[in-house]
Structure 1
């Protein structure tokens, strides 16, 4: 660290040497910085908006649209997911969250109904085959 002392105050009478109090004050200013004001320092607060993650469930909706689409729930969920992504791009996080929540609910129902239909499509033929045997 470079500790250099610069004289901030010059004596009033240039012909006379500085007094002890003046040297002490100059040293304190050089070491401690500027004198403290009784008024509180002004501060600036900058709010940095963090990138709030709002999941739009587009991939899940696309999967449900292509593979498990009972009652077109997967397609409707995909439409809400796209709306959620559009709202997120515009900066409307509240609207994006609302559309994403609807898309998530529709995706859950599409997945449950799709799995149940798949199980029934496997179990019913097996039961019919077992009954005719």
Structure 2
């Protein structure tokens, strides 16, 4: 294939017999087609990876058992279970919505429980301190 500038009918126009390389080159052009200078169209396939949606079940269970202020931990646990169910079905958008609600409820339950704990410690301590001091 050292002689690239030959045309397809180069051996037919001359009276000499073609050598092996010329025949091989003509065969490749006939089978593969002539080289094209046009742009090649390509197809792109986007493969979506698994989207990790945190469902906050463990956090909700902890808030249900230990910091269940106004039953927010239990409600958060219910939303976490709904988020896990949606994730198993394949509804990523629904799972994200339920997980977001569960996260907000868990944060509210945590803050409420911490504030209630601080108030439950500070108020009796202050009353005892005022009762002891003259």
User: What TM-score, normalized by structure 2, do the two folds share?
Assistant: 0.73
Question: How many pairs were matched up?
Answer: 117
Q: Alignment partner of 2:96: what SS?
A: helix
CA distance in structure 2 between the aligned counterparts of 1:35 and 1:63, rounded to whole angstroms: 70
CA distance in structure 2 between the aligned counterparts of 1:25 and 1:39, rounded to whole angstroms: 25
**How far apart are 1:42 and its partner, in Å?**
4.6
- Residue 81 of structure 1 corresponds to 80
- Residue 93 of structure 1 corresponds to 92
CA distance in structure 2 between the aligned counterparts of 1:65 and 1:118, rounded to whole angstroms: 16
Q: Which ranges in structure 1 are unaligned for 5 or more consecutive residues?
A: 1-8
Q: String of CA shifts for 1:62-108, please: whole Å, max 9, x gaps.
A: 11111111100000001000100100110001100110111011011
**TM superposition outliers: structure 1 runs of 4+ over 4 Å:** none
Report 1:1-133 matches (<5 A): 16-18=16-18, 23=22, 26=25, 35-38=34-37, 40-133=39-132
C-alpha RMSD of the superposition: 3.0
CA distance in structure 2 between the aligned counterparts of 1:56 and 1:36, rounded to whole angstroms: 55
**How far apart are 1:25 and its partner, in Å?**
8.3
Q: String of CA shifts for 1:8-53, please: whole Å, max 9, x gaps.
A: x9x66xx95217xx739829x69xx864335544533322111111
